[in-house]
A = this chain, B = another copy of it.
Amino acid sequence: MNSSSELRKNFETKNLVKVGGAFDALSAKLVEINQFDAIWAGSFAISATHALPDASILTMTEFLHTSSSMVDACSIPVIADCDTGFGGPSNVSHLVKKYESSGIAAICIEDKIFPKQNSLLENGTQDLLPEKDFVAKIIAGKNAKQNDDFMIIARTEALIAGTGVKEALKRAQAYEIAGADAILIHSKKNSPDEIFEFCDLWNGAIPLVVVPTTYPEVSNQELIEHKIKMVIYANQTLRAAYIAMSNLLSQLNKANSIKEINQPMTSMNEIFDIQKMFHMKNQEKNIEEKLKKLGYST
């Protein structure tokens, strides 16, 4: 079963599909090890690790490179945040071909104007693309799929743009009709109220997805009660890494020896393990044995 089919199966069999945010292959691997259902290759976190604004500055090439490295390292599905689709319908067509052939399970595109700015940025520019133009992107994406199971998640930023729940619903319905496989409804409010209002009024057949960065008190039960099928923890992984590195480096520069540092650090061996160095040494041993069998002295 390919990763797209696996992701679809998750939607069918789980009450709530849990997706952990990652920004490189190592963080993705940690998401997998900690038994999340899928990996979110988010543009905010990936941009941040490049020390560049989350504002369509990194290119599709760079985002795809990062997402592909996650696919190479992990066996759970990778969902790639593709912002506005990096341009118009032809760009979406191109990206679907590239991402699908790289083994990515799903892409997410949003209905803001390219270049976009992060949805949670105070005073960020959050203008919506006309509905028709975003529908054109979904059609282009759907036409470009090789495998029907590949998922296009349509994210509406209507609530982020302040145009209200009604507009959000109108758009979400249009996106479903155009061929979207799921709807991501995003909000920057500190409570899930408008999200819940949207979900309660939603009567489409495709699943709903949320990213509760600004309303972290929301419980899994509440999400499930409001017909939400997937929750994406988009940036917590990065935010935990950030503070740990910041504390470590701050202490380290003032310390007289590494031993003085009280910030927890994992062992070298644990990292050797996750990066498959022991696996590689085992492969070497297997090859040595095979060579012996073939009569080579070793």
Residues of A at the B interface (CB closer than 8 Å) are 18, 20, 24-31, 33-36, 44, 47-57, 59-62, 69, 72-74, 86-91, 93-94, 97-98, 101, 103, 114-115, 117-118, 120-121, 123-124, 132, 135-136, 139-140, 143, 174, 177-178, 212-213, 216-221, 233, 235-250, 252-253, 256-259, 261, 263-268, 270-272, 274-277, 279-281, 283-284, 286-287, 290-291, 294, 296, 298
Contact = CB atoms under 8 A, between A and B. Distances in A.
23 contacts: A26-B48, A27-B49, A28-B51, A29-B51, A30-B242, A51-B74, A53-B275, A53-B279, A54-B275, A55-B90, A59-B62, A61-B61, A72-B98, A117-B277, A143-B287, A174-B294, A213-B268, A216-B259, A221-B256, A235-B268, A236-B258, A239-B265, A241-B245
A37 to B, nearest CB: 9
A26 B49 contact: yes
A93 B212 CA distance: 32
B57 A59 contact: no
A132 to B, nearest CB: 4
A287 B144 CA distance: 12
Contacts of A114: 87, 114
Given A89-B284, A220-B257, A221-B256, A25 B53 contact: no
A270 B242 contact: yes
Interface majority SS (helix, strand, loop, mixed), chain A: helix
A288 to B, nearest CB: 8
B236 A283 contact: no
A129 to B, nearest CB: 13
Nearest to A249: B34
A234 to B, nearest CB: 10
A123 B277 CA distance: 11
Contact of A245 (B98, B143, B237, B258): B237
A178 B277 contact: no
- Nearest first, the 8 closest Cβ-Cβ pairs linking A and B are A244-B244, A216-B258, A59-B59, A51-B73, A239-B265, A25-B51, A240-B248, A61-B61
Given A239-B266, A249-B20, A265-B236, A25 B49 contact: yes
A263 B233 CA distance: 14
